């Protein structure tokens, strides 16, 4: 089925994105990351979403913070977002280094202990993460380790920009990493990928209209149940992974032990239990490094903030 024609605004937005990508590609990865962070740190705090969504979310989730503390966190949020976007453009330059390295790229802890023992041909594997640090690095790590990896993503509203982003990811991963757009078709494709023994990564911290209402920072939040549903269906390992930003183009990736799957025999209760555990883990990451998390999306129902 053919796509509807793009509006003038959508075409202009795509043209701007292509121009920025061309600029960032010409720069060393650290310079690109630093530039991306500086631009968004300058502009982002002035945008309405910072006050209407970001600050409102912080007041709801962490009421102990004062206004100056919230503003500082949101400046860090915008810096991290700009750096992450720039690093996506230069993804192949993000190489692995030993612990303690200050070279551009990433260090990694937990892979050998918590992932390698579970990479078994024909057996599925689940990872979950959040919009924290640079979440785009996870498929790159899996691809470089020879894992048959796929991930679910939310398509950009501008179809031209979405194709640009997909192209950046294809170029960055240089492999058959599979991309499943959120929705019914993407869900079926992700399920088939798991049936074939693939590994699947999910970002689990966005607000949904469906799913399960599970506490997040002590407030009910609609949360995807796909991760728990897949895990219980396949009885496969569920591995938490998150990224801590150390600086421009410098990331530390932390992989934690697989979760214990609930076994009450009551599927609904087990779904709630596993999804609740997932939210508590993500909350712990965010509390530890609030400036690394994307507070700019609506995580709770509108009436809550």
Residues 178-236: pLDDT tens digits?
A: 999 888 888 899 999 999 999 999 999 987 778 899 999 999 999 999 999 999 999 99
Output the tens digit of pLDDT for each of the chain's 305 residues.
456 677 888 888 888 889 989 999 999 999 999 999 999 999 999 999 999 999 999 999 999 999 999 999 999 999 999 999 999 999 999 999 999 899 999 999 999 999 999 999 999 999 999 999 999 999 999 888 888 999 988 887 888 888 888 888 888 887 678 999 888 888 899 999 999 999 999 999 987 778 899 999 999 999 999 999 999 999 999 999 999 999 999 999 999 999 999 999 899 999 999 999 999 999 999 999 999 999 999 999 876 65
Structural domain spans, the chain: 8-304
β-pair partners for 223: 212
Give SS3 for 10. Answer: helix
Tell me which residue has tokens 């949020």.
77
3-state percent breakdown (helix, strand, coil) of the chain, nearest 5 = 50, 15, 30
Q: Are 112 and 122 in contact (CB under 8 A)?
A: no
CA distances from 214 to 99, 166, 182, 273 (A): 36, 31, 20, 9
Let me know if 279 is exposed, middle or buried by CB neighbors in 10 A (0-12, 13-18, 19+).
buried
Q: How far apart are the first and last CA of the chain?
A: 40
Tell me the C-alpha distance between 221 and 208, whole Å.
9
């Amino acid at each position: 089925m053919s796509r509807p024609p793009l509006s003038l605004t959508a075409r202009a937005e795509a043209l701007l994105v292509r121009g920025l990508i061309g600029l960032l590609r010409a720069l060393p990865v650290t310079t690109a990351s630093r530039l991306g962070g500086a631009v968004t740190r300058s502009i982002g705090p002035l945008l309405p979403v910072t006050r209407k969504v970001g600050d409102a979310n912080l007041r709801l989730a962490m009421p102990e913070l004062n206004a100056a503390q919230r503003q500082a966190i949101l400046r860090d949020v915008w810096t991290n977002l700009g750096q992450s976007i720039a690093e996506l453009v230069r993804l192949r330059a993000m190489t692995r280094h030993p612990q303690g390295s200050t070279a551009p790229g990433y260090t990694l802890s937990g892979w050998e202990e918590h992932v390698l023992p579970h990479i078994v041909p024909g057996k599925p594997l689940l990872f979950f993460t959040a919009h924290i640090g640079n979440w785009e690095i996870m498929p790159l790590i899996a691809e470089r380790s020879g894992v048959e990896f796929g991930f679910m993503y939310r398509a950009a509203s501008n179809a031209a920009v979405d194709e640009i982003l997909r192209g950046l990811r294809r170029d960055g991963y240089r492999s058959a990493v599979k991309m499943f757009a959120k929705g019914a078709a993407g869900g079926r494709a992700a399920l088939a990928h798991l049936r074939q023994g693939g590994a699947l990564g999910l970002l689990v911290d966005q607000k949904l209209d469906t799913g399960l209402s599970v506490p997040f920072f002590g407030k009910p939040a609609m949360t995807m149940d796909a991760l728990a549903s897949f895990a219980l269906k396949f009885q496969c390992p569920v591995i938490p992974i998150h990224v801590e930003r150390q600086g421009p183009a410098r990331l530390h990736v932390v992989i934690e032990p697989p979760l214990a799957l609930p076994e009450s025999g009551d599927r609904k209760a087990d779904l709630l239990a596993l999804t609740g555990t997932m939210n508590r883990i993500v909350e712990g990451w965010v509390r530890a490094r609030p400036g690394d998390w994307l507070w700019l999306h609506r995580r709770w129902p509108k009436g809550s903030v």
